[in-house]
Amino acid sequence: MQIIKAKDIENATKEMIVKEFRADFTMFISQEAKDYAEQNGITIIDKDAKAKPKKPEHMTNLDAKRLVLKNHPRIILRGKIDTFQAKVLETQILAEELRCQNMVNMLQEINDYARKIMVSELLEEKLDDKITLLGLNEHELRYVSQHPTQYFGIGHIAPSYKMGKLPVELNLLRAMSREVEIAAINAFCDTTGTGEKISRADILRALNRLSSALYIMYLECLAEGRES
């Protein structure tokens, strides 16, 4: 019987960056060779084993079993949520610098809420319909956002640079949440334009709540004079 020795492995792998020694498993691998491979981070594999196909650069995992193009509607949605969360964190830093702790806390709630949506989409699990945001349910969020005079003593105010950094950033987050919502519609609604077939109505409903909550935060920031 032929024997694979440590020198055989050394000679075959010395020019490799990722070191793998493809062995004929009908041959005997000496203990010395096994020890050498282990000490030098070399993996011994069956030369007849089929190489695992590499994932194409233009594709990514939709889930554990499916590869899709990176412009797949659900992948685009994930990217939008990711960007949105990054902006929430940036706005939190600004709120903390301006010593608006209440706004920092609300933004954390927004970020946690967005994360729940992301996890729900990734795992294909239904969102809890009873989740509240800013202590308000779906109906209350809609009502408060539509009646600012009643709750904040101000009307619907168009954004302006004169408002200061924080209100402007909150308005940007509101606009970004709408982009996330549109991406979700593209991912989960039929393409005929009728909107009759919806696969994830729970996510669409959650995103509608999100934009309402951010508009409420924008109005509250204006009402309390939290300009930079």
What percent of the chain clears pLDDT 90, i.e. is strictly above it?
A: 55
Is the domain of 99 the same as that of 8? no
Q: Domain total for the chain?
A: 2
Is the domain of 68 the same as that of 33? no
Residue 226 is which amino acid? R
Residue 195 confidence class, pLDDT cut points 50, 70, 90: low
**What is the domain extent for residue 135?**
59-223
83-92, 137-146, 183-192 — which is least confidently predicted? Answer: 183-192
| Exposure b/e, 95-123, CB count within 10 A at least 16 = b | beebebeebbebbebbbebbeebbebbee
Measure CA of the first residue to CA of the last residue in the chain; give whole Å. Answer: 80
Instruction: Name every residue whose Cβ is closer than 8 Å to that of residue 104 and which is 6 or more positions away in sequence.
Output: 92, 95, 96
Name the residue with higher pLDDT: 14 or 73: 73
Is the domain of 40 the same as that of 63? no
Model pTM score? 0.72
CATH number at residue 207: 1.20.1200.10
Is the domain of 142 the same as that of 178? yes
> Residues 185-213: what's their mean pLDDT?
86
